[in-house]
Chain A
Amino acid sequence: MELLSGGEMVVRALRDQGVKYIYGYPGGALLHVYDAIFRQDEVEHILVRHEQAATHMADAYARATGKAGVALVTSGPGATNAVTGIATAYMDSIPMVVITGQVPSHLIGEDAFQETDMIGISRPIVKHNFSVRHAEDIPEIIRKAFHIAETGRPGPVVIDIPKDMTNPTDRFPYVFPKHVKLRSYNPVTKGHSGQIKKAFDLLMSAKRPVIYAGGGVIMGEASEELTELAQALNYPVTNTLMGLGGYPGTDRQFVGMLGMHGSYEANMVMHHSDLILAIGARFDDRITNGVDKFCPTAKIIHIDVDPASISKTIRADVPIVGPAKAVLEEMLQLLKSSNKLPDAEAVKTWWAQIDEWRQRHGGRFRTDDSEKMKPQQVIEMLSKVTGGDAYICSDVGQHQMFAAQYYKFNKPNRWINSGGLGTMGFGLPAAMGVKMNFPDADVACVTGEGSIQMNIQELSTCSQYNIPVKIICLNNGSLGMVRQWQDMNYESRHSQSYMNSLPDFIKLAEAYGHVGIKVDKYSDLEAAMVKAFAMKDRLVFMDITVDPHEHVYPMQVPRGSMRDMWLSKTERT
């Protein structure tokens, strides 16, 4: 049997796990591991410019592929820089393995140089964490970490490795376990058939049904089953921000995103429904608005792989614990074998009502007389130029909501954004993580002049590894989302929400060796964007000046019901 040091085992086990890229940044506690990385060429290490970016790259790889990404950061400041990225993945249930260096075992607890208690710091934002106590356990711990991260409700796992565990002179037999078993961790693999039957009967008798599908459909690879079921039933479908692409965005049955910035019709459908089929969605407060006023006439069927998501904020009438894919397959089976049919007459009336809502407000924005370009127009153009088939990696703010509303996602895993934590700075590294793994695909980072500056240093990483993403910066010269709230709730007192002394983004991009394109007029937009995407092997930074006064609508009225919305600066439901 081959003898390896702990440092070598880390790299070998990652290889045996099928990992192609590690995103990371070296430091003292990891030097043995970095030496092991140097001495092989099967796993490639990507050197970022800030550890937060490494975690977002790993995270976005997972969002695009469903497999856990890997980040490697040193102890102390390296580990704490990774915290935002770990929390981002945790909030959105994204599988990721983060390996953190640690001071040597005998120094732990002594306030040693670059010591932080990463097990303690990460505890509330991980699915699990491991501290390595015996070097020979490394392969098994890595195998377990991936197993935990990727199964059940996915999530990030941290492995903290004291430096002495990777010592090159201590060598141990290397075995990579084929299977792992954890007696206290057995995620469900199918739903309870009795509950599924009960849900099915409810579904068949609904008069005003709606399917509300979230991120669990994307991560649970259930969008095909969802689409088949929804179309067989002819029921309307709405997606959460995390679920976009889980159901085809251009399909007639899709009523748009729901929630705080959801479409008028999606929120109306939810509010007036008599049955909600929730799939892999967690009734987040950005969805429900005032919980006491939530969907007063609806019964709720809730499918979720995590029992703790069910009846957490809104009580489910029929809870089904299980993976969306397996449960939906079973429902489809029932539909095929049963003689029950949906109430077509009632559903037709329901659609007539929905179509009327659509006509009334169908997610339109108004171009006013000013010549200013609307951010929505930019997203529509992006959709047109990329044929609706790009990976769109977003930052956080108004631009994120416009992208969610106006880019029509027809496939899962194409919309990559931080929903639960809302991490500004996510977009660029996310786009990089996706582009490296899908070199032939169009990958765009939709961002704002605020967000992009939170990880702008990664333009350097992009030069080093030639990562030709397209940056679509909706430059409104302000922290637009904050400004919107100040307009609406603080009589337009714009406290600290403007961006003074912005850099010349074009020159900045060029300084890093990239291409910059500035667009001020809508009439120039299409040609510029076509040109940007035609430069397949260049990173292009598009700095696009948009109307700083635009707001995101609809916007739910705080603590109201789902149907209480502002539809423009002057209209309310």
Chain B
Amino acid sequence: MRHIISVLLENEPGALSRVVGLFSQRNFNIESLTVAPTDDETLSRLTVTTVGDDRVVEQITKQLNKLIDVVKVVDLTEGEHIERELMMIKFKASGAFRAEVKRTADIFRGQIIDITPNTYTVQLVGSSAKLDAFIEALGTGSIMEVVRSGVSGIARGEKVLSL
């Protein structure tokens, strides 16, 4: 199963490499990884999406918790949550296909953020599945470049991940 694990990390040099190293050292899978500072300047927040059975995911959270630089770990997929990913995608777009990109982007609530006579660049925000669906809808033939941010997530309701 796919899991979204959020981690509060000491904002220290080398902290990120401990997390990344742990995943490769223990043969855990990483689908995507994002990391950025938080409102508390001593902390970074890292989100990793991974795929594994319950035993593996249990080990992932336990091993993450053991890292001294890791302050808190939560598996967002255990509860109600929202996930978002940002994608920028550049198409070779001319003739009739130009209109189709525009139409599909509208349906997906994407925005066209750059235009040249032969290209369109679309920005899209949503779950990873939605981004996948957008790519599928337009076919891969005319895609020039895809940039995805990786998943970020947050719990619904009152639940927060903080100190």
Contact = CB atoms under 8 A, between A and B. Distances in A.
B72 to A, nearest CB: 8
Interface residues of A, number: 18
B66 interface: yes
A489 interface: no
A470 interface: no
Contacts of A534: none
Contacts of A312: 59
A569 to B, nearest CB: 37
A158 to B, nearest CB: 12
Contacts of A128: 68
Given A183-B71, A183-B163, A308 B63 contact: yes
B17 A124 contact: no
B17 A123 contact: yes
Given A119-B14, A131-B13, A308-B63, A124 B68 contact: no
Given A183-B71, A185-B68, A308-B66, A120 B58 contact: no
Nearest to A120: B17
Interface string A156-192: 0000000000000000000000000011110000000
A184 B17 contact: no
Q: Which of B55, B68, B70, B72 neighbours the largest number of chain A CB atoms within 10 Å of its CB?
A: B68
B109 interface: no
Interface string A248-270: 00000000000000000000000
Given A308-B62, A308-B63, A148 B21 contact: no
A363 to B, nearest CB: 35
Contact of B68 (A184, A306, A307): A184
Interface string B7-27: 000100110011001000100
Contacts, number: 34
Interface in A108-128: 119-120, 123-124, 127-128
Contacts of A183: 71, 163
Given A123-B17, A131-B14, A148 B68 contact: yes
B71 A184 contact: yes
B163 A124 contact: no
A410 interface: no
A386 interface: no
Given A131-B13, A184-B68, A123 B21 contact: yes
A311 interface: yes
Contacts of B17: 120, 123
B69 interface: yes
Interface in B48-103: 55, 58-59, 62-63, 65-66, 68-72
Contacts of A307: 62, 65
Contacts of A131: 13-14
Those 5 A-B pairs whose CB atoms lie nearest each other, nearest first = A308-B62, A184-B71, A128-B68, A124-B25, A307-B62
